[in-house]
């Protein structure tokens, strides 16, 4: 990854900036999963900065990478409203799930994992022949009925491998067997699929656009496809993987009859057990980097341009952070405008030094005392650690400024 050179301000200007109470700071930190949401973490850092720079101009922006917590981060950060309803869970039983509607009343933010996530099914009960995405379609259907026409959808963390046919059934598509009946849920339904129809699809669906947060490049089928790569973690044995791969291939052939432009080789079509393919083929959708979607939807670039300093971070900084994680997305944007970047993290691993090469000028772990993992992840403790660390970092920042001559 190529980034702009680290920002090195003119010493006299830097000194004035550090001493000036009107310093402008943008805070965009991912959630500390299990401890603090993105906005809770950002507001805590802001409180620490205010202890040192009471008159600083601070802007806290929600941050996520399209995975778990994206809907909550965007909805809370942009002051939208959370919706809750009962939908069909991955094994067919009713569950409670939610999504967000942003203030424009036209944009819905949802995660497929809320209705078909792997954490919703106990390991011993995971079976992609049975698990369905039907509840995902019900979430979309509910949002459409409430006036939404623009969708931001995170599709990570699925427990399904049904090619998205469950979601499509909930939206009115006919996934029919040889007798013209809707097929059953999951991979078993794919095995019965004989015809796809669109006569009963929600009329409003054609008005809708979908930005799908997808950071994997797997095709629908084959050795790098949905079944082969992700099937095992969803409960598939070798024989089941082979069968599911064949069913998805047959599904793609039927889909091409209805949508001639359908292409199961497009990178990302294998995401979420083929849900990426369903979105691309049957809706007006694009697959995009999750962090790019979040940064654009929050207007982060404009906030970066107006900031003197950018603060980011996540629960764990390590070598994987540079592989498209949210803090590196923020750092890359900051370096585009020559802004200094610091990061806070719950823990920092040995290989985190690569984050410096990718635009984070300095990073700081927030653990301040020896304790158990449970103690460290306790929300109250995490907040206190982050608050105290941010205050001390900015005390050093201010002291460094005073050592320079204006």
Which residues contact residue 334 at a Cβ distance below 8 angstroms, ignoring those fewer than 6 apart?
A: 304, 307, 310, 340, 341, 359
Selected from 3.40.50.10350, 1.10.3720.10, 3.30.390.50, 3.20.20.70, the CATH number assigned to the domain covering 11-63+300-402 reads: 3.40.50.10350
Residue 84 has pLDDT above 90, yes or no: yes
| Residue range(s) of every CATH 3.90.1510.10 domain in the chain | 70-291
Confidence class for position 402, pLDDT limits 50, 70, 90: low
Chain mean pLDDT for the chain:
91
pLDDT in tens, 297-323: 999 999 999 999 999 999 888 888 887
pTM: predicted TM-score of the whole model, two decimal places: 0.84
Which tokens go with 149? 């026409």
What CATH number is given for 70-291 in this structure?
Answer: 3.90.1510.10
Confidence class for position 2, pLDDT limits 50, 70, 90: very low
Beta-carbon neighbour count of residue 147 at 10 Å?
A: 12
Q: Which residue has the tokens 């069909």?
A: 88
| Residue range(s) of every CATH 3.40.50.10350 domain in the chain | 11-63+300-402
Residue 12 has pLDDT above 50, yes or no: no
């Amino acid at each position: 990854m190529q980034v702009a050179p680290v920002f090195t301000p003119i010493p006299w200007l830097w000194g004035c900036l550090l001493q000036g109470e009107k310093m402008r700071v943008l805070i965009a930190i991912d959630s500390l999963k299990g401890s603090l949401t993105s906005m809770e973490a950002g507001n805590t850092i802001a409180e620490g900065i205010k202890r040192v720079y009471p008159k600083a101009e601070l802007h806290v922006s929600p941050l996520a990478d399209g995975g778990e917590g994206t809907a909550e981060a965007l909805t809370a950060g942009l002051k939208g409203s959370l919706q809750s309803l009962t939908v069909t869970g991955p094994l067919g039983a009713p569950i409670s799930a939610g999504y967000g509607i942003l203030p424009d009343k036209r944009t819905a933010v949802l995660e497929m994992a809320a209705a078909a996530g792997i954490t919703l099914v106990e390991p011993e009960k995971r079976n992609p022949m049975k698990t369905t995405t039907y509840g995902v379609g019900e979430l979309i259907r509910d949002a459409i009925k409430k006036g939404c026409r623009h969708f931001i959808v995170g599709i990570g963390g699925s427990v399904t491998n049904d090619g998205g046919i469950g979601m499509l059934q909930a939206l009115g598509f006919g996934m029919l067997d040889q007798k013209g009946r809707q097929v059953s849920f999951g991979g078993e339904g794919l095995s019965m699929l004989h015809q796809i129809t669109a006569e009963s699809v929600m009329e409003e669906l054609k008005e809708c656009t979908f930005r799908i947060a997808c950071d994997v490049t797997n095709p629908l089928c084959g050795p790098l496809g949905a079944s082969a790569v992700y099937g095992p973690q969803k409960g598939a044995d070798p024989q089941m993987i082979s069968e599911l791969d064949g069913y998805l291939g047959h599904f793609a052939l039927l889909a091409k009859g209805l949508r001639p432009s359908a292409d199961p080789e497009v990178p990302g079509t294998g995401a979420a057990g083929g849900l990426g393919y369903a979105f691309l083929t049957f809706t007006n959708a694009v697959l995009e980097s999750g962090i790019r979607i979040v940064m654009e939807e929050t207007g982060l670039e404009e906030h970066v341009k107006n900031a003197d300093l950018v603060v980011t971070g996540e629960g764990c900084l390590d070598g994987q952070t540079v592989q498209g994680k949210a803090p590196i997305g923020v750092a890359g944007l900051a370096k585009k405008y020559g802004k200094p970047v610091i990061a806070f993290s719950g823990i920092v691993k040995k290989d985190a030094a690569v984050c410096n090469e990718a635009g984070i000028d300095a990073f700081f772990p927030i653990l301040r005392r020896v304790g158990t993992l449970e103690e460290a992840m306790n929300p109250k403790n995490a907040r206190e650690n982050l608050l105290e660390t941010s205050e001390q970092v900015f005390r050093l920042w201010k002291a460094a400024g005073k050592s320079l001559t204006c």
